[in-house]
Amino acid sequence: MQDRYLFVCMGNVDRSVAGEAIFRELLENKGFNVGKLSDKKGYDFYIGSAGVCVSNSNAVNGSVQLTNDMVRRVGNIFSVDFVVTKCLTENFRVPERKIIQLDIEDGRSLIVPEQANELYAEFRMKLGKYAG
């Protein structure tokens, strides 16, 4: 289970999606085979992303709602900020030892190129030490 990572933000639109993409890139650049959390055996790492506040009424472009089952199936959870960490520990009863808080500020969009580049760069810097 230590090879399973989940990126979590509020809505699973920008930050957790960017974190998942960059972590996948970093691992693959080191020669690892990376699959989705739903994939069967055969990968070195399994990663995914979800949001703590996704519902049918606010889901955007395939946003995924975090579930207790997802929490149970992963070894580590990358939380983008304190608010998400608090939600993880209080609402989903995630032990703090399982959470890696990255402190990625909200307010940047993946559809705005400059903001996306800035977000990707911040994730590359903060995730490098966790990529194998």
Range of the domain at 12: 4-130
Residue 73 burial by CB count (10 A; 0-12/13-18/19+): exposed, middle or buried?
A: middle
Query: For residue 109, is pLDDT > 70?
Result: yes
Residues 67-81: tens digit of each pLDDT: 999 999 999 999 999
Query: What is the total count of domains within the chain?
Result: 1
Residue 132's pLDDT band, with cuts at 50, 70 and 90, is confident
CATH code, 19: 3.40.50.2300
Mean pLDDT of 31-56: 91
Which string of DSSP letters, residue by residue, matches the chain?
Answer: -TTEEEEEESSSSSHHHHHHHHHHHHHHHTT--EEETT--S--SEEEEEEETT--TTT--TT--B--HHHHHH-SEEEESSHHHHHHHHHHS---GGGEEE----S---TTSHHHHHHHHHHHHHHHGGG--
More confident: 72 or 59? 72
Q: How many CB atoms lie within 10 A of CB 77?
A: 24
Residue 44's pLDDT band, with cuts at 50, 70 and 90, is very high
Mean pLDDT of 94-104: 97
Q: How many CB atoms lie within 10 A of CB 24?
A: 18
- pLDDT at residue 62 in the model: 78
- The pTM score is 0.93
Query: For residue 1, is pLDDT > 90?
Result: no
Which of 5, 9, 27, 29 is closest to 18 using CA atoms?
Answer: 9
Tell me the C-alpha distance between 92 and 72, whole Å. Answer: 10
Query: Are 20 and 49 contacting, i.e. CB atoms less than 8 angstroms apart?
Result: yes
